[in-house]
C-alpha cells in the first residue's frame, strides 16, 4: 500500500499524553514517534531551542515516558506497528516491552554526516520496530540498516528533523491512519 502524502492530514497540537488520552482504543494503524532521547541535546550554533524534557534524572524520565508509551500501545490497532526513534539508550526497549509491545527489530538509520561531539561523533540513530500482535507479513521486507541523508540547512523547523524519504519508507510498509507524536 502506498500512502498518498498529498491528501489532507489532520494536525492536532498539544501535550502528547493529553491528546493520546482523547483518542479511542485501537484507532490508529501505525505510529511514528520521535520522543526526547534524554541526552541533553544542545543544537549546534544556537540555531534552535534546546529540546524540552531531554535532560531529566532517569527516574523522572521513566515517569514521563512510560505513560506515553502505554497510551501509544492502547491507541494502536491490533496487528500493527509502532516505530520509535531513539538515542543510544535502551530505555525505550524497556518502555515498549513493559507496555506490551514485542520489539521486533532495531533499525539503524545511517546518516550522511557526523553529529556533534568531541570524543565520538554519532552518525546514526536507532528506530525500534514494535509490534502489537502480528502485523501482516510483507511481500518485501526492508533492511534493518537504512541509509538516508540527515536533514540539514538553515531553514529547519526543528533541529532534529527526520528525512521524509525515511519516514515514507517506514509508513509505506504498513500504511493506514498514522499517528506522529
For the domain that residue 94 is a member of, what is the CATH number?
3.40.50.150
pLDDT of residue 99: 96
Q: What is the pLDDT of residues 30-55, one digit of tens each?
A: 998 887 776 666 655 556 566 666 66
* Grid cell 515514507 in the structure block, residue: 168
Question: CA 168 to CA 165: how far, in whole Å?
Answer: 5
* Grid cell 482504543 in the structure block, residue: 25
For the chain, the domain total comes to: 1
Residue 37 falls inside a structural domain: yes
| Radius of gyration for the chain, computed over Cα atoms and rounded to the nearest angstrom | 16
pLDDT of residue 56: 72
Residue 115 falls inside a structural domain: yes
Extract the C-alpha cell encoding 50.
534546546
Nearest-CA neighbor of 163 among 114, 109, 115, 86? Answer: 109
Residue 166, domain extent: 16-180
pTM for the complete prediction?
0.82
Residue 44 falls inside a structural domain: yes
Q: What is the pLDDT of residues 126-166, one digit of tens each?
A: 999 999 999 988 878 889 999 998 876 656 555 567 888 89
Amino acid at each position: 500500500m502506498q500512502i498518498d502524502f498529498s491528501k489532507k492530514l489532520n494536525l492536532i497540537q498539544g501535550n502528547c499524553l493529553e491528546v493520546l488520552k482523547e483518542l479511542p482504543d485501537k484507532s490508529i494503524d501505525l505510529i511514528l514517534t520521535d520522543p526526547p532521547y534524554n541526552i541533553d541535546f544542545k543544537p549546534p550554533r544556537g540555531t534552535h531551542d534546546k529540546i524540552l524534557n531531554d535532560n531529566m534524572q532517569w527516574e523522572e524520565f521513566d515517569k514521563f515516558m512510560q505513560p506515553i508509551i502505554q497510551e501509544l500501545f492502547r491507541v494502536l490497532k491490533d496487528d500493527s506497528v509502532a516505530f520509535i526513534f531513539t538515542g543510544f539508550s535502551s530505555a525505550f526497549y524497556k518502555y515498549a516491552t513493559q507496555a506490551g509491545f514485542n520489539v521486533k527489530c532495531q533499525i539503524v538509520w545511517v546518516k550522511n554526516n557526523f553529529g556533534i561531539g568531541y570524543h565520538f561523533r554519532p552518525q546514526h540513530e536507532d528506530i525500534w520496530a514494535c509490534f502489537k500482535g502480528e502485523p501482516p507479513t510483507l511481500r518485501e521486507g526492508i533492511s534493518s540498516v537504512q541509509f538516508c541523508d540527515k536533514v540539514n540547512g538553515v531553514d529547519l523547523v526543528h533541529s532534529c528533523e527526520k528525512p521524509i524519504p525515511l519516514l515514507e519508507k517506514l509508513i509505506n510498509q504498513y500504511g493506514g491512519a498514522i499517528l506522529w507524536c
